Amino acid sequence: MTRIVIIGGGPGGYEAALVGAQLGAEVTVVDCDGLGGASVLTDCVPSKTLIATAEVMTTFDSSYEELGIIVADDTPSEQAARVVGVDLGKVNRRVKRLALAQSHDITASVTRAGARVMRGRGRLAGRQAMDGSRQVVVTAADGTEESLTADAVLIATGAHPREIPDALPDGERILNWTQVYDLDELPEELIVVGSGVTGAEFAGAYQALGSRVTLVSSRDRVLPGEDPDAAAVLEDVFRRRGMNVMSRSRAEAAKRVGDRVEVTLSDGRVISGTHCLMAVGAIPNTEGMGLEEAGVLVKDSGHIKTDRVSRTSAPGVYAAGDVTGIFALASVAAMQGRIAMYHFLGDSVTPLNLKTVSSNVFTDPEIATVGYTQADIDGGKIDARVVKLPLLRNPRAKMQGIRDGFVKIFARPGTGIVVGGVVVSPRASELIHPIALAVDNNLTVEQIANTFTVYPSLSGSIAEVARQLHTRKSAEES
C-alpha cells in the first residue's frame, strides 16, 4: 500500500488526506494544533463568525430607520443613535465554540475515511532513499520522536502572523489576529495597522461592533491588491461610517502606556488608542522543517516553490496552502492538496488554474472577484471590454436600502467570452458564483444575458451587465 505522510492539518492537508484515503493510500496526518489549521481555528472560521455579528449590526444601524423599523419607545430625535449593542465576550465564546466544533467535525471525517491523525510537529529527515521513500520525524509535545516512512510527503504547514520588532503583540493591548478572540470587552479605540484584506475586514467589523477605529495604511488606499473601483467604494463607506483612515502612513512601533497603546508612524506622528491590532502580513511555517537538507527549494520569502500540480523540487515531496505563497485562500489550499494526491496516486488531474479562482473580502459591503482583473486589462495583459453597473439602479437593492456597490464584468472583444468580474455588495461571496461559472466554462455574455433571473434580485444586475456588454459588442460589429 502506498504510504503518504501529510505535515499540517489545514485545508490543504485534510482535503489531501480525504482524497488519499479514498484512493486507497495509507495516510498519516501530522498536526500540532488540531485539524482545520489556522483557517478553522484562528483565521477564516473565527473571523467570519465575528464578522457575521458585525454584519447584523451594520445592517440594522444603517437601514432600520429607512425601512420603517421602530425599536422600543424611541422618539424621532433618538432614532439616529445606536439602539443595539454587543457583548464581545459572548461573541468570542461563540466564535471559539464554532471553530472547535468545525475542527472536531473535520477530524471525524478524516479518521472515518481511514486516515491516521498524529499529534506533533513533523519534519523531513534527509533526502530520498534508494527505494524512493522518505523519512518524516514527528516530535510530540513531550519531546518524544517517531520516524515515519513515506512514499510521498505533502507539506501543508501554513503561515503565522508577521511581527514588527518594535510592535510585538502582548495578547492584551497589542494583538495579532489570532489573539483578538480572547477579548472580553469591546475595544473602545482600536488602531488597526495594515490595510490589506485582514486589516480591512477587522477594521470594518470592529467599527460595526461599536469601536472607534483608526486604520493605518502605508499605501495610497485600502486594499491595494484589490480592484481599485471596489477599494474606493469600501474606503468611502469606511470614512462615511466614522472610521479614521490614514493613508500613506507607515507604522514603525507600538508600545503600551498604562491602559493605552501608542503607535509611532514613520513621519514621527504618534496616535493613541486603547488597543492595537497588527495586521501586517504572514510568514510561511517552513523554519525547522529540514527542507534544504531534503532538496526542497525555498524562495527568499520562505515560501516553498511548487509547480501547478503541487510538486516541489524534491522528488516525492509536494506542498500546498499558504506555505507556497500562492493565493492565501482556503479554497486554493484545498485544491492544491487534492491535486497533489491525484497526481502522485496516478488519478486524472487538472493543473491548478488561478484564473478561475473566486475570492472574497468579507467587509461590508463584501468584495468578490474572479478571473482577470482591472489591473490585467489596464496593463495590457489581456484585451477585454468592461461594463460596470452601480447597484443603486437595482430594484432589490432599493428595497433593501443598499446604496453602495456594483457589478463589473470583463469580456473578450469579438467572442464575448467572460474572463473576469467583480461584485461589490452584501453577500457578494454568493453573487460571484454565476460569474465564476462563466469564467470557468468559457461562457459568453450572450449566454448570461439570455438566462432567466428572478425579479427582483441582486443577481439581475449580473444579467443586465451582460446585456450591456452584448449590446456594445453588437454595435462594434455593425
The predicted pLDDT at position 142 comes to 95
| Residue 78 pLDDT level (bands cut at 50, 70, 90) | very low
pLDDT averaged over every residue in the chain: 94
**pLDDT tens by residue, 408-427:** 999 999 999 999 999 999 99
What residues contact residue 90 under an 8 Å CB cut-off, 6+ apart?
none
Q: What is the pLDDT of residues 25-40, one digit of tens each?
A: 999 999 999 999 999 9
Query: pTM of the entire structure?
Result: 0.93
Band of pLDDT at residue 72, cut at 50, 70 and 90: low
- Distances in whole angstroms, Cα of residue 367 to Cα of each of 109, 221, 245, 250: 32, 15, 18, 25
CA 221 to CA 202: how far, in whole Å?
16
In the predicted model, is pLDDT for residue 69 greater than 80? no
pLDDT band at 1 (very low <50, low <70, confident <90, very high): confident
d(CA 214, CA 191): 5
C-alpha triplet 386, 388, 389: angle, nearest 5°: 150
What pLDDT does 477 receive? 64
- pLDDT (tens digit, 9 = 90+) per residue, 168-218? 999 999 999 999 999 999 999 999 999 999 999 999 999 999 999 999 999
Residues in the chain: 478
Contact 222, 361 (CB under 8 A): no
Assess whether pLDDT exceeds 90 at residue 286. Answer: yes
pLDDT band at 67; cut points 50, 70, 90: confident
Report the pLDDT value the prediction gives residue 99, as an integer from 0 to 100: 95
258 pLDDT higher than 50: yes
Q: What is the pLDDT of residues 460-469, one digit of tens each?
A: 999 999 999 9
Kindly report which listed range (19-33, 78-92, 220-234) carries the lowest average pLDDT score. 78-92
Please say if the pLDDT value at position 165 is more than 70.
yes
Residue partners of 472: CB distance under 8 A and separation at least 6? 385, 387
pLDDT digits (tens, 9 = 90+) for 325-342: 999 999 999 999 999 999
Per-residue confidence (pLDDT) for residue 474, from 0 to 100: 62
